[in-house]
Amino acid sequence: MDTPKILITGANGQLGRVLTQSLRAEYGNDAVLASDLNFPDSAENENTIFLDILNTERVKETIKDHKINQIYHMAAILSASGEYNPHKTWNVNFNAVLDLLEIMRECNVGKLFYPSTIAVFGNTTPQSMTPQDVPLLPETVYGISKTTGELWCNYYHNRYGVDVRSLRYPGIISYQSIPSGGTTDYAVEIFHEAIKHNKYTCFLGPDTTLPMMFIDDAIRATIDLMKAPKEKIKTRTSYNLSAMSFTPAQLADEIVNHIPQFEIDYEPDFRQEIANSWSESIDDSRAREEWGWNHQYDITKMTKRMITELKKIYI
Ligand code: AKB
């Protein structure tokens, strides 16, 4: 197997940052080229570049110049932000992926990781233990673009043999950055506000159940999927992936176990409708059977770790 030479797009995002650190820890700094539109804390250097994924020629040059053989394409506009600018969201989330698939084919790049999401599900999807193969009728432009991307990934794999692998991420909970633009972001914001102010106003109602995952599990799933032998990856649209499901009220109760004075109130906004169209829980048995996926964090373990890590930052 070739030594990995990895390009990460969206390396400054919630998942991209931690993925960059983890892949560098595993393969060395020089094996990982981190790219994004901007990096507030660091200037460009030989392993970090500013790259607009809509600039197809520059993306292609970068892949050729750096002899890239694996791409983690993490750049995307998320569900809530996407609704403010549907056409830009389509361009970033879909057209850039189609161009990338074509570059993969043309330049014979080894592997592509394509992040999909629970936003591919919609009001017609069974909401409890959503099966792997269901009709997808997403409500948001983010969901539409990710669904279409899944289908094109499958097409490029079947037609041209492009080794593209994908996961349908639930809401990701991490302490390394504050996500923005998503519907599941409340589950990160709540920890910051609990530690700083002992209270949080949630933009979803108390009983909104959504699937969630702690960052360590999400990163391990991503890297394990990319490392799995080709013949084990039988799903080339995107794998359902699951760890835990909870409501804002249940998460608040967990936080109270660590911060007894914590209080939550609720002011649902337009994101409530998006959340209502998504699954409450996910059947990810195919990922577990085919390449050995197994989560390690439940709501209790995740809450304890989030509070421990954020206290190191704030207190
Ligand atoms: C969002 O809320 O938009 C994302 C997602 C579930 O893909 N976190």
Index of the ligand 1 atom closest to the CA of residue 172: 8
Q: What string of DSSP letters covers 13-24?
A: SHHHHHHHHHHH
Give the pLDDT confidence of 143-178 residue by residue, as tens digits: 999 999 999 999 999 999 999 999 999 999 999 999
Count CB atoms within 10 A of the CB of residue 269: 10
* Domain residue ranges of the chain, discontinuous segments joined by +: 6-171+213-240, 173-211+244-280+297-314
CA 235/CA 225 separation, integer angstroms:
11
Q: Are strands 32-36 and 48-50 parallel, antiparallel or unpaired?
A: parallel
What are the tens digits of pLDDT across the range 10-39?
999 999 999 999 999 999 999 999 999 988
Is 255 touching ligand 1 by the criterion CB < 6 Å?
no
Active site annotation includes 175: no
- The two three-digit tokens of residue 256, written as one number: 């109270």
Q: How confident is the model at residue 2 (pLDDT cuts 50, 70, 90)?
A: low
Contact 274, 118 (CB under 8 A): no
Ligand 1 atom closest to Cα of residue 79: 3
Check if 287 has its Cβ closer than 6 Å to any atom of ligand 1: no
CA 146 to ligand 1 centroid distance, Å: 11
Rounded distance from Cα 79 to ligand 1 centre (Å):
6
The number of the ligand 1 atom at minimal distance from the alpha carbon of 170 is 6
End-to-end CA distance of the chain: 46
Does the pLDDT value for residue 186 go beyond 70? yes
Q: What is the largest CA-CA distance in the chain?
A: 58
Q: Which residue has the tokens 């519907």?
A: 183
Q: Reply yes or no on domain 6-171+213-240 having CATH 3.40.1080.10.
A: no
How far apart are alpha carbons 301 and 175 in whole angstroms?
14
* Mean confidence (pLDDT) of the chain: 96
Q: What is the pLDDT of residue 45?
A: 83
Neighbours of 232 (CB within 10 A): 11
Q: Is 79 in the pocket of ligand 1 (CB under 6 A)?
A: yes
Q: Please state, as a whole number, how many other Cβ atoms lie within 10 Å of the Cβ of residue 224.
A: 14
118 CA to centre of ligand 1 in angstroms: 7
Does the CB atom of residue 213 touch ligand 1 within 6 A?
no
Please tell me what DSSP assigns to residue 201.
Answer: E
Q: How far is the CA of 214 from the centre of ligand 1 (A)?
A: 13
Q: Is 43 a residue whose pLDDT tops 80?
A: no
Give per-residue pLDDT as tens, 79-103: 999 999 999 999 999 999 999 999 9
Per-residue pLDDT, 141: 98
Instruction: State pLDDT tens for residues 226-274.
Output: 999 999 999 999 999 999 999 999 999 999 999 999 999 999 999 999 9
Return the amino acid letter for 139. Answer: E
What's domain 173-211+244-280+297-314's architecture? Answer: Alpha-Beta Complex (3.90)
Q: What is the mean pLDDT of residues 109-120?
A: 97
- The catalytically annotated residue of 72, 114, 142, 186 is 142
Give the pLDDT confidence score for residue 40 in this predicted structure: 76
> Which pLDDT score is estimated for 48?
94
